[in-house]
Amino acid sequence: MRKSLITLSIITALLAGCGSDNDKSKETAEIANTSPQSMDVTYNVAQAIQITGQLEGTDAEGNMTFSLVNSDDVKLGVFDITDASTGQFTYVTDALEGTETISFKVSDGESESISTLTIQITGGDPLYPHQWHLSNTAQNSFAINRGVAGEDMNVNEAITSGVKGQGVIVAVVDTGLEINHPDLKANVVSGGSYNLITGTVDPTSLNDGYAHGTAVGGIIAAAGWNGMGGRGVAPEAKLIGFNFLDSDPDGVENAQSFENFVMSHGATAYSDSARVFNQSYGYSVPFPDLFNENETEVYAETTVNSFDGKGSIFVKSAGNGYNYFSYGGVYWLPADYFTARDEGKAANNGLPFHNSNMTASNADVYNLVVSAINASGELSSYSSVGANIFVTAPGGEYGTDFPAIVTADRSGCDKGYVISADRPNTPFHGGDHPLNLECDYMSTMNGTSSAAPNTTGAVAMIMSANPDLTWRDVRHILASTSTKVNADKAPINVSLSDTQEYEAVPAWFENAAGFSFHDFYGFGRVDVSAAVKAAQSYETDLGEYVLTDWINSAVDLNKTIPDASLVGVSDFIEVKNDMIVEAVQIQLSADHLRIPDLAVELISPAGTRSVIMTPYNGLVYQGVMDTNNTADIVTGYVDTPMLSNAFYGESTKGEWTLKLIDVNSGEYSFMRYNIDTVEIENEDSGQLQNWSIRFHGHDAESKS
């Protein structure tokens, strides 16, 4: 009994000792596991410039996690904790100004500490949130309907990296440029512009209603973060202006002479400071067009030889004639334009009435031709298209039903497109909107006239990111980085008969060099941030530029073009030189008394097929020509130039095939609006007379 008691006492003592040791361990553990501590943090940010920041917190053991107390605290921008263990975060906002007060906590799993992140938003542009082309958040931009989020040029990452167009001068060749516009004057080169009519350094249009050039200048380089208006694609690029499209209000003088072309397109000291030229202008003709050889020489000289051989870029609008175009003061349209529209169908077999290759200057390789895309990521309803398109860029629709581009207008409510005397066509116009009380801005700028300056701004950003790039390097970057849009767009076919269909506009295709191409979009929509990133790390060597001589077919082929037959007629030219293609041009001579029946194809040795002229086009002058006037007769194509970018990166070596296909043996009519409807009689067959081809590119030995 006594033994049992003694044993029990020892066990009790041992248990008591163990308990005492455990208490000391817990006490030690409690001392080691200190609570984390957080601290208040403040950051200043500017609109649309992403910051990378750091939430502040400490823990003696270093085992902590950062998180938000309530994600609903973030009201004005996008906040993301990129590393929960360190508290690193990113934040970006479209807001002009304001304050974000965000509670965050740091936790070690047992305890936590809460502090406040304050983000002060200062410096922005009140119209930037409406500029969907820069950042598409599905805003309506003062139109009735919204766009689709994400369908934009992806500018912000480039801006965040510090590239804003610095060091690049852009020439706006247009109706003029209001150099004292409040949102442009900070970026205008003092004394750098020229008025081609008055001879002064102020290129502001002589016509109060002309605002086109000022709107273009705003798209390119409206000043950023100045608390007014919107922002340009390249908000710190510099502008010079030329009123090449202007005229004396009295009608005495027009600026569009060849002498003024030379002065405004880089061939004289008036404009040779510019590395990028924006040409938001063009023309459409209902008959086959020819190069202006004098202008082509200016384009070539400035493009290739300026800036110590680095060269310059000419950006040009493709045209706005998909549905109809104006020539000689008259609108020319497909005959079924109104009936098809009333029935909810596509007129003209769904094909472009103005193929951009119909305008010879658009077939000039030294013009980087741009089509227009809308806020939903599809071809703008009016945009001309063709194999000569290099890229597409935002042009929008008309700004009433669907978004157009928000940009600068002539300042004041008595000049430009937006004047208080007019009934406003959007809530933004007319001088009553709080963001536009002085009528300095507009929300209805559209057309390939808008797509071109969006591309011009992108080119300025690329050159700013890497000033050593040549004109060909810039084009290569655009071809390599542009975004494939509307990827599921189906081809457009036309019926020859119940059993025959012709693919007149192919779907997206990949050429033999791996470049994706579409006649609507070229290599795709410009992606500014991707292009800038590529420019910053650019190492591609394109070698010496080579422009070949014209390689000619037989002079008199006299090959019959069968009527309404997919067989068509083909001819081949064997090319022995091994070059890498950067562009291909042809010249075509073919007799046919109903040109719109003809599709023109070029097929490379690698098998890539490019439709360089679509059928059912607006080359309809044969319906109204004066057959008694030899000078007025159009027999078909005569040395007509056309351009394709579809073969970019392929080899020249091998057999190039030209093919002409007649797609229509039935009726064909067109309209001259408010004048007449004209039927052109069918010609059973035509003849391919001759053709020639030349290549722009570099030797295959060059690294690319």
Alpha-carbon distance of 485 to 201, in angstroms, equals 41
| Positions marked active-site | 174, 212, 449
Alpha-carbon distance of 413 to 397, in angstroms, equals 24
Give the largest CA-CA distance in the chain: 145
Residues forming beta bridges with residue 408, ordered by sequence position: 441
Alpha-carbon distance of 340 to 27, in angstroms, equals 87
Tokens of 462: 């690329």
Helix 212-221 / helix 448-465 crossing angle, nearest 10 deg: 30
Length of the chain measured in residues: 704
Alpha-carbon distance of 301 to 277, in angstroms, equals 14
Q: To 5 degrees, how large is the angle CA 137–CA 139–CA 145?
A: 135
DSSP summary character for residue 515? -
For 480, phi then psi, to 5°, come to -90, -20
Helix then strand then coil, % of the chain, to nearest 5: 20, 30, 50
Alpha-carbon distance of 167 to 271, in angstroms, equals 16
Alpha-carbon distance of 138 to 374, in angstroms, equals 12
**What distance lies between CA 657 and its chain's CA centroid?**
31
Q: Which of 475, 414, 404 is nearest to 439 (CA)?
A: 414
Alpha-carbon distance of 220 to 212, in angstroms, equals 13
Q: Which of 510, 173, 426 is nearest to 314 (CA)?
A: 173
Residues forming beta bridges with residue 695, ordered by sequence position: 584
Beta strands in 431-525 (DSSP E): 441-445, 492-495, 501-505, 509-510, 516-517
Tokens of 397: 């629709």
DSSP summary character for residue 489? P
Q: Are strands 676-679 and 367-373 parallel, antiparallel or unpaired?
A: unpaired
569 three-class SS: strand
Tokens of 311: 């060269």
DSSP summary character for residue 536? H
Judge whether 379 and 487 are in contact, CB under 8 Å. Answer: no
Q: In angstroms, what CA-CA distances link 5 with 1, 14, 17, 218, 409?
A: 6, 14, 18, 100, 104
**What distance lies between CA 448 and its chain's CA centroid?**
9
